[in-house]
Amino acid sequence: MVISPSAWDTWVLGPLTAAAAAYHAAALVPSTWLPMSWRAHGYPSDVFLLLRQRTTISTQVLREALAPGGALNGLAHAWRIRFGDDALERLIWRWSSVDGRKLYLVLGAEPILGCATCVQKLDCQQYALFLLLGPYLVTLVLVALLTIPPHGVLPRLVQRIVSTPSRDAAIGPYISRAASRTPATLVILAAFFVEAYIVLRAEQLGSVYGRWEHWHANLHLARHALFLVVLTAVYFWRPVRQPAVAVIDALRSLTVTSSRVDELVAYARTASGKRPTAPTDPKTTSRVATPDKTRSPGQPAVAHSDVAP
């Protein structure tokens, strides 16, 4: 069954998903393909990978690469404009120690450059978690918007603004992504907790070598790839729902609930020692034999009726 997309899908969800997909796809582009001033936004922003050098190279080599005319002059210029010269010197100071380089490989450059008051490693880790909350919260909001039922307030408002909704469209089959909200949310939350665990355990991470020691670059790649897959999968998965199915399910639930209530009432009466009383018929109880004190001995009793003949 082919159902035309609603105004909410066409004018809101479509552009939002396209913009988010373009952003996450651009984050996966190799930095060497981008202009030097844009390499902080590509993949990766790791200076060791950009220089194609081991993480054990001397600090002097890194300083010369960031100097004017060096191999990373454009990246250093972007950092100076955004964070200042003092922040760049603070980053180079971190590179001068083994623990500082390990912290950089896990957290990346931005937590070290952007936090001027971060002196201890824990301060940088907490600031990195603060920066990490942003993309995850934005993705959760996008998932929530994508999975809003078509009969919600926002879709109806957009439909009312764009065109007058018809009665047939309101009661006919419709597309709903509401069932994918819980799985997508759980996947995103699980990824956040894994990444937060790695950030907080930066000092205790085991020694790895080669491509795997660039934790921040690898997490950058995995995060944007995951967001791209989740958002596009939720958007393009469009199950068709029938309104009658929901009504039948509601009636069945109501029937089960009613029978359960009857069972509980019967159980309560049994537990209290009272038997369920059968309903009385007014026709059989309309005539009640009452003794007549005025009758003489031996005269039969007369049944008085409270119902008019």
Same domain, 146 and 253: no
Residue 304 lies in a domain: no
Same domain, 226 and 84: yes
CA distance linking residue 46 with residue 77, whole number of Å: 15
Residue 233 lies in a domain: yes
Residue 259 neighbours by CB distance under 10 Å: 10
Full pLDDT tens readout for the chain, 309 residues: 556 677 888 889 999 999 999 999 988 888 777 776 566 566 767 889 888 888 889 999 999 999 988 888 888 888 888 888 899 999 999 999 888 898 999 999 989 998 888 888 889 999 999 999 999 999 999 999 999 887 778 888 888 888 755 544 545 566 778 889 999 999 999 999 999 999 988 877 766 677 788 889 899 999 999 999 999 999 998 776 666 555 556 666 677 777 777 788 787 778 776 555 555 555 554 444 445 555 555 555 444 444 444
Residue 189 lies in a domain: yes
Residue 287 lies in a domain: no
Same domain, 261 and 156: no
Same domain, 17 and 120: yes
Number of domains in the chain: 2
Q: Show the tokens assigned to 285.
A: 């109880």
CA distance linking residue 139 with residue 240, whole number of Å: 24
Last residue of a domain, one of 193, 226, 241: 241
Answer yes or no: are the C-beta atoms of 47 and 62 closer than 8 Å: yes
Same domain, 151 and 256: no
Same domain, 205 and 154: yes
Q: What is the pTM of this model?
A: 0.71
Range of 24's domain? 9-165+174-241
CA distance linking residue 42 with residue 33, whole number of Å: 9
Same domain, 141 and 226: yes
Same domain, 100 and 17: yes
Same domain, 237 and 249: no
Beta bridge partners of 287: 305
Same domain, 99 and 237: yes
Residue 211 lies in a domain: yes
Residue 200 neighbours by CB distance under 10 Å: 15
pLDDT given at position 191: 97
pLDDT given at position 27: 87
Residue 199 lies in a domain: yes
Same domain, 145 and 100: yes
Same domain, 132 and 250: no
pLDDT given at position 139: 97
pLDDT given at position 133: 94
